[in-house]
Chain A
Amino acid sequence: DTEVTQTPKHLVMGMTNKKSLKCEQHMGHRAMYWYKQKAKKPPELMFVYSYEKLSINESVPSRFSPECPNSSLLNLHLHALQPEDSALYLCASSQEPDRVNEQFFGPGTRLTVL
């Protein structure tokens, strides 16, 4: 298995809803990432998990809450989002957090906040 999967593919939510995005990889990678991507822009890093521990939080608002239940799974819990949070949310993984190596991306979740 050489891919990163993400669910759901699309999500529409109101500003008072609570929802979660899910990401899974079975490549044995020990670093996992959440990125946010607006239209026609490059991905922006939100969080990094290294060996299932949060290692980077790029000053993301607390309405985004990441969770790494095990080495294969990464969740992003969403609560009280704003319309400007609408974007493509990408998950990625890489083999080892301790050295620079390639990041592999999932297909993304297209989030719309009404």
Chain B
Amino acid sequence: GQQLNQSPQSMFIQEGEDVSMNCTSSSIFNTWLWYKQEPGEGPVLLIALYKAGELTSNGRLTAQFGITRKDSFLNISASIPSDVGIYFCAGHPKNMNRDDKIIFGKGTRLHILP
């Protein structure tokens, strides 16, 4: 089946540092979505990307749809304590025959040290 490789699996950073995480696949994707999930809550959509090369920002967050269409990254600048959570990438592979399904990466768990 389709797989998304998300890395790193977890990160421990100091407050104020920048963060970078990414997702890669062996397949071409039409859409990349980045979600954040906090304990006991549902995933919250951060950024949606629809075109190869697209670079989109949402406050301190920036995400890009890779030119090869097989990867995407999410950057967080100047991290703050409320950035703690699990970040999931998700996407729709080009060769998936249904438009109403997406697949998820395994998540990057972000920890911020005091």
Contact = CB atoms under 8 A, between A and B. Distances in A.
- B partners with A: yes
Contacts of A100: 30-31, 92, 99, 102
Interface stretch (B13-21, B42-50, B60-68, B75-83): B42-50
A9 B91 CA distance: 28
B102 A90 contact: no
A86 to B, nearest CB: 14
Interface string A15-53: 000000000000000010100000011110100101000
Contacts of B106: 41-42
Interface residues of B, number: 25
A105 B43 contact: yes
A56 B33 CA distance: 21
How many chain A residues sit at the interface, stated as a range, is 20 to 34
Nearest to B86: A40
Given A42-B106, A43-B43, A100-B30, A56 B101 contact: yes
Contact of A107 (B33, B41, B100, B101): B41
A110 B88 CA distance: 20
A106 B33 contact: no
Contacts of B92: 100
Given A43-B104, A103-B33, A90 B99 contact: no
Given A102-B33, A102-B45, A103-B33, A42 B107 contact: yes
A48 B105 CA distance: 19
Nearest to A104: B45
A76 to B, nearest CB: 15
A104 B90 CA distance: 12
10 contacts: A40-B86, A42-B88, A45-B101, A55-B100, A98-B99, A99-B99, A100-B99, A103-B45, A105-B44, A107-B40
Interface of A: 4, 6, 31, 33, 40-43, 45, 48, 50, 55-56, 88, 90, 92, 94, 97-108, 110
